[in-house]
């Protein structure tokens, strides 16, 4: 059907279809770009969400996707834009994730007869890093109280320690 007919005779249903497509594209972008990312419900988490939203606006992602969808009718370009923005968001998120990765020293670390090395832990995802598995895994926390040592970047490069009890 020629575009003139869609803009004339079928204007109302066409506009409704465009609005529905726009909403579905926004949902696709949100799900694709944020897939697997977790945020804490605190000031730092809110700042990260604001930074990600700012990058979306500055990159004119909505405008570019809208152009690809409604002017060029190019699904591959939509996917490409989404993938590029996902990479940018992952870069922003990495610094946040890294700030929440720490050394987890629990009871077995202090056993004089059989000391175990401390673990690498991330308190956003509540997972431990397992080198053999090549990534983050869920596993039960070691028994007893634990000391979590976070590296905080600031002018004086200090560490912050938290104690965790089961």
For 39-94, write each residue's pLDDT tens digit: 999 999 999 999 999 999 999 998 899 889 888 888 899 999 999 999 999 999 99
For 5-50, write each residue's pLDDT tens digit: 666 777 788 788 888 888 888 888 889 999 999 999 999 999 999 9
- pLDDT number for residue 147: 92
Q: Tell me what the mean pLDDT of segment 127-142 comes to.
A: 94
- Which residues 6+ apart lie within 8 Å of 140 measured at CB? none
Residue 5 CA to chain centroid, in angstroms? 43
- pLDDT number for residue 2: 64
Confidence label for 156 from pLDDT (cuts 50, 70 and 90):
low
Q: Does 149 score more than 80 pLDDT? A: yes
Q: Does 129 score more than 80 pLDDT? A: yes
Domain-by-domain residue ranges, the chain? 3-98, 101-164
Q: How far apart are CA 105 and CA 135, in angstroms?
A: 19
Is 102 in contact with 125 (CB distance < 8 Å)?
no
């Amino acid at each position: 059907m020629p575009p003139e007919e869609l803009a004339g005779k079928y204007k109302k249903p066409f506009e409704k279809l465009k609005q529905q497509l726009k909403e579905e594209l926004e949902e696709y972008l949100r799900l694709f770009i944020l897939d697997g990312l977790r945020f804490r419900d605190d000031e730092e988490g809110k700042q990260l969400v604001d930074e990600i939203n700012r990058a979306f606006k500055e990159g004119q992602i909505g405008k570019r996707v809208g152009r690809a969808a409604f002017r060029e009718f190019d699904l591959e370009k939509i996917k490409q834009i989404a993938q590029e923005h996902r990479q940018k968001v992952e870069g922003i998120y990495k610094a946040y994730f890294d700030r929440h990765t720490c050394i987890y020293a629990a009871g077995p670390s202090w056993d004089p007869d059989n000391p175990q090395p401390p673990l690498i832990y991330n308190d956003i995802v509540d997972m431990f890093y397992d080198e053999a598995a090549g990534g983050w895994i869920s596993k039960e926390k070691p028994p007893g109280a634990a000391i979590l040592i976070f590296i905080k970047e600031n002018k004086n490069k200090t560490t912050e320690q938290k104690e965790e009890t089961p």
